[in-house]
Structure 1
Amino acid sequence: MHTEIKGAPAFAHLAVVLAPGERVIAESGAMSSMDAELALKARMNGNPFSALMRKWLGGETFFLSAFSNPGSDNQRLVLARTTPGDIREVSLSDECLYLQAGAFLACTDSIKIGLKWAGFTSFLAREGLFKIAVSGTGRVWYGAYGALLEKDVDGEMIVDSGHLVAYGPGIKLKLRLAGGLFSSFFGGEGLVMRVVGKGRITLQTRSLGGLAGWLNPKLRG
């Protein structure tokens, strides 16, 4: 399987070339275009209960799309997210990666996609009560609105609410004020997230909540 991320960072999309017999799993509705010879099959992520939890609690779709190449020649597929922004690829080797709701785009067939409790800290930080857990050995593609920045944490780092996209099991999330009580709320930052532990995190430079907050007063006017 050959893949290439194009159009980054503003309008990234994933170009996939599937060799005969290869298959890739994608979020439902992610297909932008594909060769007519490719086979598409919708499937649930696990049993009906886990698929329903993934949809309502994890911000993902009920079904996943499995694209396979049953022919004898290479076939092409283009996958894209519904919002503009960047896409990242990560290779897992019997590892686990946590993603914010809506960040998952696609993975190889060997990856397991699950749902885990994120905690009230994550909820108050506008990251949701649940997080998507992708695990196993294979490749995963994910994305978010805005550009994506990777940071190595060894100790702690302060991250604004709604900007954390991906992190590993070695990272814990805590909530705190950005500064003093007066500065935090009158300075516009309020509560921020304290990322504690050791590992790599991925941040998005923009947030949909920030965009909505900027647009709403203009639309009402």
Structure 2
Amino acid sequence: MKAVLEGGTAFSYITITLDPGEQVIAESGAMQSMDAGLDMDAKPNGGFFSALGKRTFGGESFFVNHFRNNKTVSQNLVLAQDVPGQIVEIALGPDQEICLQRGSFLACTPGVSLSTAWAGFASWIGGEGLVKLRARGQGILWFGAYGGILTRQVSGELLVDSGHLVAYDPGLSLGIRAPGGAFASIFGGEGLVTRLQGQGTVYLQTRSIRGLAAWLNPKFR
């Protein structure tokens, strides 16, 4: 299998070349084009009840698409996310895990599994939702976000504005706090922010859908 990220950070897409017998699993609606020789099957995302949980709480589709090359020559598949932004590829080692925020999952190889987990009230108050997705296993994972994606190494504490957290290592815990004093938090426009504590890697998006909506809404009145 060969995967190439193209389109820059603003309009990323993935061109995946599947050799005979190889397959990839993608979020529903992610396929932009594919060679006619590929077979595509829609299956529940990890079984009926697991798929229902991911759809209801994790912001993911009930069904995911399995693309398999049953031909004797290589076939190409192009995947992209719904929003303009960057896609990141990471390789998960044996039993390695990463936590994903709602709607960020795009695709993975068959060795990676997705499940939902309780994120806590701090995540919900911080605008990140009550439930997170956990990707674990061995294989390749692709996820994306609106805007560019920044990678930060946390050793201690990091404050992240609401709606900018994309993914993070499970060794990091989430909490909430005011970024400054009461006056600065209320009148500075930041409100409560997400506090990550511990050691690990965090992925942040440079833009926020919520911020885009707040900027657009007054223009339609």
Residues 158-210 of structure 1: CA distance to partner in whole angstroms, max 9, x if unpaired?
Answer: 11111010001110011000100011110111101111000000000001000
Whether the 8 Å CA contact 1:8–1:87 is kept in 2: the answer is no
Secondary structure of the residue aligned to 1:85 is: coil
Alignment correspondent of 2:54: 54
Alignment correspondent of 2:119: 118
Alignment correspondent of 1:109: 110
Matched ranges for 1:19-38 at <5 A: 19-38=19-38
Deviation, 1:132, is 0.8
Can you give the 5+ residue segments of structure 1 that lack an aligned partner in the other structure?
Answer: none
Secondary structure of the residue aligned to 1:215 is: helix
Secondary structure of the residue aligned to 2:11 is: coil
Deviation, 1:47, is 2.2
Amino acid paired to 1:145: Y
Alignment correspondent of 2:88: 88
Secondary structure of the residue aligned to 1:206 is: coil
Secondary structure of the residue aligned to 1:145 is: coil
Whether the 8 Å CA contact 2:92–2:140 is kept in 1: the answer is yes
Matched, 1:189 2:152: no
Can you give the 5+ residue segments of structure 2 that lack an aligned partner in the other structure?
Answer: none
**Counterpart-to-counterpart distance in 2, 1:8 and 1:99:** 22
Alignment correspondent of 2:43: 43
Residues 37-67 of structure 1: CA distance to partner in whole angstroms, max 9, x if unpaired?
Answer: 0000001122211111100110000001000
Matched, 1:167 2:168: yes
Whether the 8 Å CA contact 1:24–1:68 is kept in 2: the answer is yes
Alignment correspondent of 1:202: 203
After TM superposition, what 4+ stretches of structure 1 lie above 3 angstroms from structure 2?
none
Report the aligned-residue RMSD: 0.6
**Counterpart-to-counterpart distance in 2, 1:56 and 1:50:** 10
**Counterpart-to-counterpart distance in 2, 1:46 and 1:144:** 23
Whether the 8 Å CA contact 2:45–2:61 is kept in 1: the answer is no
